[in-house]
Structure 1
Amino acid sequence: MSVTTTVAELRNQLASDTPPLVLDVRWALGDPHGRDHYADGHIPGAVYVDLDRELAAPPSAEGGRHPLPELTDLQAAARRWGLRQGQPVVVHDDLGNTAAARAWWLLRYAGVAQVTLLDGALGAWRSAGLPLESGIPAGPPDGDVVLRAGGLPVTDADGAAELAVSGLLLDARAAERYRGEVEPVDPRAGHIPGAVSAPTGENLAADGTFLPPDVLRKRFEEKGARGAGAASRIGVYCGSGVTAAHQIAALEIAGFEAVLFPGSWSAWSADPARPAATGPSPS
């Protein structure tokens, strides 16, 4: 199953008799103006998706800053977007798909078979000289998609701790947050003991597209003594389970399967009984 769709492929698909649903997941940490950015210019026909409200449940100490939404809520949102049963979906943002991957992962988790990321995100569409439209269009007719959980694996804090010991647990946050030098949003600084630093930004080329599969595979195989090639099980976490989905997409491109810890560091660090490691090494 392909993880990405190119701009050329999307352009052709949108002109076909069976166009995909295009979802614009404009979101960035500390920037609450995703809808405004969408209104300034978006791919014609794309539907805006609010990550905080539609791709996550309300935050909690146990679930973190972006807990997985209830399946009934996600299905209601997907129908508002106009998603029909069996319809392909292409998702993107304007930040290398680091936010859009949350929608990609959630829809795959919920049983939508054909979901891809627009490789290069909105920047690739702009670079190709393709048109944008502005404003907030009227909502599409309601879709009829039926979602079922379980399409992708998840783990909890105990499972993440076990993976850090017996498998490979990747921390997708920026390296300085992994080392505990800064922590802008979560209760404590540091990382899960045993986790290996693998910043999400290193999945991408300078133009915002994913690195080639062989390059990604080498990147993950070289992560620590166990590496992805030697580990029988791989887990991923980040700050709140958003950019970790991007890491899972990169791992899939490289030929690896991985499990998501949705609560991620925001949930782990909120529990005083959970230890935190600092510095560049996993332990």
Structure 2
Amino acid sequence: MSTHTTLITTEQLHSLYLSVQKPAIFDCQFDLTAVASGHSAYMDGHLPGAHYLHLDVDLSGSKTGRNGRHPLPEREVLAKRLRQFGLQKHQQVVLYDAQGGIFAARAWWLLRWLGHSAVAVLDGGIQAWQAAGRTLESHVPSSTAGDFQATGSLVEWVSRQDVLDDLKHGKWLIVDARSEDRFHGQNETLDALAGHIPGAVNRFYRSNLQENGLFKPAAILSAELNQLLQGRPATLSVQQCGSGVTACHNLLALEVVGLSGSLLYPGSWSEWSSYSDAPLAT
């Protein structure tokens, strides 16, 4: 059976439901301005067998006021949570949301951070599933504890200090996944300061998507992302956003077209801007 490691279509997921080795499905719906609404949407209707992963509770760690709005969770805490939902070693994981894949992509990156390679995001999310005529269910599935364990990471990340030190050398291309207005220091409503990290370039995460909510064809993504990298290998790029969430969408897009190895700055602008003396540009 083939393993899915980036995106999975509704047709491919439907086939997995009919297979002997069932996939582990996780619903990641969320709203930054209404944090309870994602779970409410899950309870109203989710993909068959799906468990819910909450961005603030499951996919983030404790906040200190200086580590961003969505710091990385403790590895073993997240691994334990996934075991409680029945996740098995090497089991195919499928993640989805209703927000263009940004929260599912965060979970995708975190699973890879725990060493799990068989993890994919449902292209088009719950909307694509319903558009294909597939059904939803509203009851919470039961589960028996799995044997999943965190192993060596398949991804790499950098700290605020790493990025700060690199400003002197410019080794990394910093890519900001926030909207263009926030990148330019306009309409900032979430973080302490407005602007962006000096030298960063902007790639709004929605640039990865078509109007129908599906990811752009690989050939188009490849051309756009190679132009973005300006001749650098992906390994010399750092993806960031507001709080380390939508940056994962750009990381997923890079992986889809084989541009592997880009780094995540998890604290992103929310951590960077929590320091009043942080260098910034507008």
TM over 0.5, yes or no?
yes
RMSD between aligned alpha carbons? 1.5
SS at match of 2:56: helix
The answer to whether the 8 A contact 1:240-1:262 is kept is yes
Matched, 1:16 2:32: no
Q: 1:104 aligns with which of 87, 90, 108?
A: 108
Q: 1:176 aligns with which of 178, 181, 184?
A: 181
After superposition, the C-alpha distances for 1:84-122 in whole angstroms (9 at most, x for unaligned) are 112110000011111111110000110112000111111
Q: 2:74 aligns with which of 57, 70, 75?
A: 70
> Unaligned regions of 5+ residues in structure 2, if any?
none
The answer to whether the 8 A contact 2:175-2:200 is kept is yes
Q: Which residue of 2 aligns with 1:122?
A: 126
Q: TM-score, normalised by structure 1?
A: 0.92
- Could you list the runs of 4 or more consecutive aligned residues of structure 1 that deviate by over 4 angstroms after TM superposition? none
**Number of aligned residue pairs:** 274
Q: 1:150 aligns with which of 139, 149, 153?
A: 153
The whole-number CA distance in structure 2 between the counterparts of 1:228 and 1:115 is: 29
Measured after TM superposition, the shift of residue 254 of structure 1 is 2.4
Measured after TM superposition, the shift of residue 138 of structure 1 is 4.6
> Unaligned regions of 5+ residues in structure 1, if any?
279-283
The answer to whether the 8 A contact 2:51-2:141 is kept is no
The whole-number CA distance in structure 1 between the counterparts of 2:49 and 2:230 is: 39
After superposition, the C-alpha distances for 1:217-242 in whole angstroms (9 at most, x for unaligned) are 2212333xxx3533561110000001
Q: 1:138 to 1:211 in 2, by over 3 A?
A: closer
Measured after TM superposition, the shift of residue 153 of structure 1 is 0.4
Q: How does 1:244-255 map to 2 (within 5 A)?
A: 244-255=247-258
The whole-number CA distance in structure 2 between the counterparts of 1:236 and 1:139 is: 37
Matched, 1:262 2:269: no
Q: 1:149 to 1:28 in 2, by over 3 A?
A: farther
Q: Which residue of 2 aligns with 1:272?
A: 276
The whole-number CA distance in structure 1 between the counterparts of 2:162 and 2:151 is: 23
Q: TM-score, normalised by structure 2?
A: 0.93
Identity of counterpart residues, as a percentage? 38
The whole-number CA distance in structure 1 between the counterparts of 2:197 and 2:280 is: 6
Q: Which moved more, 1:56-65 or 1:171-180?
A: 56-65
Measured after TM superposition, the shift of residue 158 of structure 1 is 2.8
